[in-house]
Amino acid sequence: MNIAIALQGLATFSWLLVVGVIALAVVRASKARPIKGVSTMVIVLIILAVALSTVSAGLVFIQPDERGVVVSAVQEKGYRDLALQPGLRWVIPFAENVRIYSISRQTYTMSIMASEGDIAGDDSILARTKDGQEVYIDASVIYAIDPVNVVQLHIDWQDRYEDEVVRPLARGIIRDMASRYGVEEIVSSKREELVVNITSELQKKFTENDLIMVDFVLRNIHFSEEYAAAVEQKQIAEQTALQAGFTVEQKKQEAEQARQVAKGQADSVVIQAKGAAEARLIQAEAEAKSLAIISTILQDNPDLLTYQYITKLAPEIQVMLLPNDSPFLFPLPEIPTP
C-alpha cells in the first residue's frame, strides 16, 4: 500500500472531522449549551489535520517504472537537478511538488483505420515517392522517456512530448524517407531498407529530445485508387504475357518434339536402307563365292553337272537326253500309275 496516499487520506479525513466538530460546536452554542470540550477537540483535530497534511505533502512514493521531477520554490533554478528514484521519497512540504513521469515503453500508432490509431479517424501518413506516386503509410513508433534526462524533458516539453515531439518527428521523417524511393521499391525490394533508415533517423532525433527510440513498425502501405487500378491492370497484363509465353514455349517444345520424331524416323529409314544394302552386298559376295566354288568343283568333276541334272528330273519324264557325244536314245522304264 502506498504510504503517501494513505497519509493523504488520513489528512483529508481529519479535516472532515474538524469541520464536523466545528458544526457540532455551532449547534451546541445556538442552544446555549457548553462548548468547552468541543472547542478543545476542534483544536486537537486541527493540529492533527495540519500535521498529517504536512507529512503527506512531503512524502512521495515513486513506482519502479516512474521517475519524479521535483519543482522547488527553494531552489534558485526552480527545480532539483536529479529526478527522484523509485521508492518512498521526501520533499519540502508546500515548497516543493513532484511531477511524475512514466519511463515504461509507449506506442504511438498512426493508421488509416479509425479504431487503431491514437487519433480517431484516418491518421495515416500521406507521402509522395520519388516517382511522384502518393502512398498512405500506417506506422507505429515504440519509444520511452530517457530516465537519465527526464528533468530536461520536463523543462523542454513537460507532458506535451507525445503531441509535439513523437508525432511530428515520426510523420516528417517517414515522408522524407519515402520520397527517396520509387513506389515499387517501397512495396517490394527496398521496404526493409526504408524501415532501417527511418528507424535510424528517429533514434537520432529522439535522443536529441531526451527520448529513447525502441522500435519502428511499418504496419501497412496503401495506394491511391488510380495507382491501385493501374497496378491491377499491370498484373493482369503480366499474367497474360506470361501465359502467352508459356503457350509459345509449349508450341516450341511440341515442334521440337515433332522434329525429333521425324528425324528419328528418317534416321530409321536410312539405317534400314543401309542394313538392306549391306545385307544385299553380303548376299552377293556369298553368291559369288558360292559360284566360284561350284566352278572349281565342276572343273575337277565335269560329270557332276550331269548327275545333278539327272537327279533334278521330274518322275514323269519319259525321255532322257544324253550328252551330244552319245549316239543313242534310251527309253526310260515305264512307271506304273497307281
SS3 317: coil
Work out the number of other CB atoms within 10 angstroms of the CB of residue 82: 13
| CA dist., res. 161 & res. 265, Å (int) | 85
How high is the mean pLDDT of the chain?
82
User: Is residue 33 scored above 80 in pLDDT?
Assistant: no
Total H helices, total E strands in the chain: 9, 8
Mean of pLDDT values over 201-207: 96
Render pLDDT for 117-132 as a digit per residue (tens, 0 to 9): 888 888 999 999 998 8
Q: Do 100 and 83 contact (CB within 8 A), yes or no?
A: no
Mean of pLDDT values over 83-103: 93
Cell of 249: 514455349
Cell of 188: 517490394
Query: In angstroms, what is the C-alpha Rg of the chain?
Result: 58
Q: Do 32 and 67 contact (CB within 8 A), yes or no?
A: no
SS3 81: coil
Q: C-alpha angle with apex 124: 224 to 110, nearest 5 degrees?
A: 160
Q: Who wins on pLDDT, 42 or 176?
A: 176
Looking at residue 303, what is its pLDDT?
A: 67
Render pLDDT for 38-83 as a digit per residue (tens, 0 to 9): 778 888 888 988 888 888 888 999 999 999 999 999 988 999 999 9
Looking at residue 66, what is its pLDDT?
A: 96
- For residue 199, the surrounding DSSP H or E stretch is helix 191-208
Looking at residue 329, what is its pLDDT?
A: 47
Render pLDDT for 96-106 as a digit per residue (tens, 0 to 9): 999 999 999 99
Looking at residue 336, what is its pLDDT?
A: 54
Looking at residue 328, what is its pLDDT?
A: 47
Q: Who wins on pLDDT, 152 or 5?
A: 152
Mean of pLDDT values over 20-42: 76
| CA dist., res. 221 & res. 17, Å (int) | 62
Looking at residue 71, what is its pLDDT?
A: 95
Nearest to 211 by CA among 264, 170, 266: 170
Q: What is the DSSP letter of 202?
A: H
Architecture of domain 106-223: 2-Layer Sandwich (3.30)
Render pLDDT for 245-291 as a digit per residue (tens, 0 to 9): 777 777 788 777 877 877 777 777 777 778 777 777 787 777 777 77
| CA dist., res. 211 & res. 162, Å (int) | 10
SS3 190: coil
Looking at residue 42, what is its pLDDT?
A: 81
User: Is residue 330 scored above 60 in pLDDT?
Assistant: no
- DSSP secondary structure string, 21-69? HHHHHHHHHHTT---HHHHHHHHHHHHHHHHHHHHHHHEEEE-TTEEEE
Maximum distance among all alpha carbons in the chain? 203
**Helix 3-30 with 36-58: angle, nearest 10 deg:** 160
Render pLDDT for 294-325 as a digit per residue (tens, 0 to 9): 777 777 776 666 666 666 665 565 555 555 55
Task: Find where cell 517504472 sits.
Answer: 65
User: Is residue 90 scored above 60 in pLDDT?
Assistant: yes
Domain segments of the chain as ranges: 3-101, 106-223, 225-338
Q: Do 141 and 212 contact (CB within 8 A), yes or no?
A: no
Looking at residue 170, what is its pLDDT?
A: 96
| CA dist., res. 23 & res. 166, Å (int) | 53
| CA dist., res. 157 & res. 18, Å (int) | 41
Q: Who wins on pLDDT, 146 or 9?
A: 146
